[in-house]
Amino acid sequence: MADDMGWADVGHHSDHILTQTSTHWPPMASSGALLTGRHPMHLGFQNIALLPFMATGFPLHFKLLPQYLKHYNYATHIVGKWHLGFMNREYTPTYRGFDSHVGYWTNRQFYFNHTNCDPYDRVGCGYDFRHNMDVITNASGVYSTHYFTDRCLHIIDLGYIFSKLSYFVITSDEHNTSEPLFLYMPHQAIHVSANKLPVEAPQEYIDMFAYIESDMRRGLAAAAYSMDESIGAVVERLHSRQMLENSIIIFMSDNGGTTGTHFANGGSNWPLRGMKMEYYEGGIRVPAFIWSPLLNKSGYVSDAMIHVTDILPTILDAVHNSTGILNEQFIYVH
């Protein structure tokens, strides 16, 4: 899941962004709606996102997708942004169905030093980068997209040392390929950095887009390219481990890009009207695709209306059809 990726922030909708995503649907997106299959209106988060100083979290009585998948003996991992609350440990990922989490709990942060600075000056700045309940102390200076990519490759590889970087250690929560795997990767990219600053990216990626006049747009393009590179690396590793032929890959953004505001990330929703936090198409229609060799029909653009809440029941239906497992407690009522 990309963060705040606008309609014109992918290569096939823009003449200066280098990505390779290939089809679309228009969802009203949020991670809570994705993981529960319920509309944000029924979750209590239809008006505002969780902020770090809020003593609340995503309601505990809602069952999340990894908890459903545990009934089918799935290993479940999240790599990246959580943003569903951390007021106590029961609200954090590993208490809500995930076997492991590497990433951050809050809404935004700097891409390299992993601190979140509250733009409203209520709580100041704080470091937020974690492995499960533990703080990661050796990630400062490492670009978050690169860190998240390495983590995903380690999960897939069951301990095979892929990265040339030295900050990662082998742990017991890498994936055993004899088990089915749910790997949820909510990227930090291409969200604005902490303290209302532009999207960050390594300089070598920014230099690739010297033809873009806007500094803000150039940084976004670089971050989007890095994310595209990350997705490619994960797909290639699934292929090398003979897991790709039995996989379903879903890509989407959580909402449209932010344009013309003090939280602007350089995104573009052209030719759609509106932006993030608005109900015009620019705020709710996003780049997305579903890919799998298991699909009966592929290589086409669907004109159907697909909502983010459709993803959970669709995944569970596919899993049920492949396993034959059926139990009343697994039945999802939409």
Number of H helices and E strands in the chain, helices first, is 7, 10
Residue 57 CA from chain centroid, whole number? 18
Rg over alpha carbons for the chain, rounded to the nearest Å, is 19
pTM, full prediction: 0.87
Assigned domain for 199 exists: yes
Say how far apart CA 116 and CA 126 lie, in whole Å.
Answer: 5
Assigned domain for 54 exists: yes
What confidence score (pLDDT) does residue 170 get?
44
Assigned domain for 2 exists: no
Whether the CB-CB separation of 79 and 184 falls below 8 Å is answered with: yes
Assigned domain for 131 exists: yes
What confidence score (pLDDT) does residue 127 get?
94
- Burial annotation 259-286 (CB, 10 A radius, 16+ → b, else e): beeebbbbbbbeebebbbeeeebbbbbb
Say how far apart CA 271 and CA 200 lie, in whole Å.
Answer: 25
What confidence score (pLDDT) does residue 16 get?
54
- Pick from 151, 62, 51: which is nearest to 105 by CA? 51
Whether the CB-CB separation of 257 and 5 falls below 8 Å is answered with: yes
Say how far apart CA 4 and CA 24 lie, in whole Å.
Answer: 15
List, in sequence order, every residue forming a beta bridge with 41; answer none if it has no partner.
none
The two tokens of residue 23 are 């089809």
Assigned domain for 113 exists: yes
Assigned domain for 88 exists: yes
Whether the CB-CB separation of 3 and 103 falls below 8 Å is answered with: no
CA–CA distance from 158 to each of 67, 168, 181, 231 (Å)? Answer: 22, 13, 12, 19
Number of compact structural domains in the chain: 1
Assigned domain for 60 exists: yes
Chain segment 19-59, per-residue pLDDT in tens? 543 333 333 347 888 999 888 777 776 666 777 878 888 89
Per-residue pLDDT of the chain (334 residues; tens, 9 = 90+): 998 888 877 766 655 555 543 333 333 347 888 999 888 777 776 666 777 878 888 899 999 999 999 999 999 999 999 999 999 999 999 999 999 999 999 988 999 999 998 666 566 789 999 999 999 999 999 999 999 999 999 999 863 333 334 444 445 555 666 789 999 999 999 898 987 788 999 999 999 999 999 999 999 999 999 999 999 999 999 999 999 999 999 999 888 888 876 678 888 888 888 888 787 888 888 888 889 998 888 888 777 888 888 999 999 999 988 775 544 444 444 3
Say how far apart CA 269 and CA 194 lie, in whole Å.
Answer: 22
If phi over 0 gives left and psi between -120 and 50 gives alpha, with beta otherwise, what is residue 66? alpha
The two tokens of residue 102 are 């590497």
Say how far apart CA 195 and CA 2 lie, in whole Å.
Answer: 20
Instruction: Quote the domain boundaries for residue 268.
Output: 19-323
CA–CA distance from 266 to each of 111, 116, 233, 259, 281 (Å)? Answer: 16, 20, 26, 6, 18
What confidence score (pLDDT) does residue 173 get?
58
What confidence score (pLDDT) does residue 183 get?
97
Quick one: which H or E segment has residue 91?
A: none
Say how far apart CA 141 and CA 202 lie, in whole Å.
Answer: 10
What confidence score (pLDDT) does residue 125 get?
85
Assigned domain for 6 exists: no
Residue 49 is part of a domain; what is its CATH number? 3.40.720.10
Place of tokens 């590793």: 237
